[in-house]
A and B are shown apart, each in its own frame.
Chain A
Amino acid sequence: MLQTLIPLFVDALASAALIFFVAVGLTLVFSVLRVLNVAHGSFYSIGAYAAASLGLWIVSAGLPDWLTFPALVLSAAFVALLFGPLVENTLVRWTYGKSDAVQVLVTFGLFLILEDLQKMVFGVQSLYQDTPMSMLGITELGGIVYLNYQLLLIVLAGVVLVALRLFIGHSRTGRLIAAVVADREVSQALGIDTNRMYTIAFTLGVFLAALGGAMATPTSGVSPGLGADTMVLAFAVAAIGGLGQVEGAAIASLIVAVAKVLAIYFAPEFDAVAPYVVMLAVLLVKPYGLFGSPTTRRI
Chain B
Amino acid sequence: MRLTSITGTALAAAMVLSTTLSGTSLASAEEKPESLNVGVFTFMSGPAAAYGMPGRQGAEIMIEQINAAGGIGGVPIKASFVDEAQGAQGVISEYRRLAEAPDTDFMIAALSSGNCLALAPIADQMKMPTVGWNCDTHQLFKDGAHPYFFRPNGNTVAEFMSYVLYFLDKNPNVRRVAIINPDYSFGHDAAEIVKATLAALNPGVKVVAELYPKLGASSYQTEISRLSAARPDVIFSNLWGGDLENFVRQANPRGLFRQSQAVFALGESSMQNVEMPQGAIVGVLGDGWWRSPDAAKRGAPAFGAAYKAKFGQDPVFPAMKMANSFVVMKAAYEKAIAKNGGEWPSKDQVRDALEGLSIDTLTGHVTIRPDHDGIVDQIVGTVTKVDGIDAPVLGSMVRYSGDKVLPPAGDDPVAWISSLTPYFPKDMPKPGSYR
Contact = CB atoms under 8 A, between A and B. Distances in A.
Interface of A: 3-4, 7, 10-11, 14-15, 18, 119, 124-126, 128, 130, 133-134, 138, 143-147, 150, 216, 219-226, 229, 260-261, 264-265, 268-269, 271-272
Given A124-B44, A226-B218, 12 more contacts: A15-B222, A124-B85, A138-B255, A150-B221, A216-B219, A223-B46, A223-B218, A224-B45, A224-B46, A225-B46, A229-B216, A264-B222
27 contacts: A7-B228, A11-B221, A11-B225, A14-B221, A15-B222, A18-B219, A124-B45, A125-B53, A126-B246, A128-B245, A128-B246, A128-B249, A133-B253, A138-B255, A144-B229, A145-B228, A145-B256, A147-B253, A220-B219, A223-B47, A223-B218, A223-B242, A224-B85, A229-B214, A264-B211, A264-B223, A271-B183
A240 to B, nearest CB: 19
Contacts of A224: 45-46, 85
Nearest to B241: A126
Contact of A144 (B213, B228, B253): B228
A228 to B, nearest CB: 10
B170 interface: no
Interface string B26-58: 000000000000000000111101100100000
In this complex, which of B45, B85, B225, B229 has the most chain A Cβ atoms within 10 angstroms of its Cβ? B225
B226 A146 contact: no
A260 B216 contact: no
Given A4-B229, A125-B50, A264-B223, A269 B218 contact: no
Contacts of A225: 46, 216
Nearest to A126: B242
B232 to A, nearest CB: 14
Contact of A125 (B49, B219, B255, B256): B49
B218 A216 contact: yes
Contact of A220 (B44, B228, B250, B253): B250
The 7 tightest CB contacts between A and B, nearest first, are A124-B45, A220-B218, A220-B219, A126-B242, A221-B246, A145-B254, A11-B222
Contacts of B214: 229, 271-272
Contact of A265 (B49, B183, B226): B226
Contacts of A221: 47, 218, 242, 245-246, 249
Nearest to A4: B229
A14 B225 CA distance: 12
B81 interface: no
B339 to A, nearest CB: 42
A220 B254 contact: no
A271 B229 contact: no
A219 B250 CA distance: 6
Contacts of B225: 7, 10-11, 144, 146
A11 B53 CA distance: 34
B266 to A, nearest CB: 16
A260 B46 contact: no
Contact of A146 (B213, B242, B254): B254
B210 interface: yes
Contacts of B434: none
Contacts of B47: 126, 221, 223
B50 A126 contact: yes
Interface string B188-220: 000000000000000000000111111010110
Contacts of A216: 218-219
A224 B49 CA distance: 11
Contacts of B249: 128, 130, 221
Interface in B341-374: none
Nearest to B256: A145
Interface string B44-82: 111101100100000000000000000000000000000
A271 B226 CA distance: 13
Contact of B229 (A7, A18, A125): A7
Nearest to A7: B225
B52 to A, nearest CB: 10
A201 B29 CA distance: 71
A145 B255 contact: yes
A182 B222 CA distance: 40
Contact of B212 (A15, A130, A271): A271
Contacts of B183: 271-272
A124 B46 contact: yes
B231 to A, nearest CB: 9
B224 to A, nearest CB: 9
Nearest to B242: A126
Contacts of B229: 3-4, 7, 143-144, 265
A230 to B, nearest CB: 9
Contacts of A126: 46-47, 49-50, 242, 245-246
A14 B219 CA distance: 11
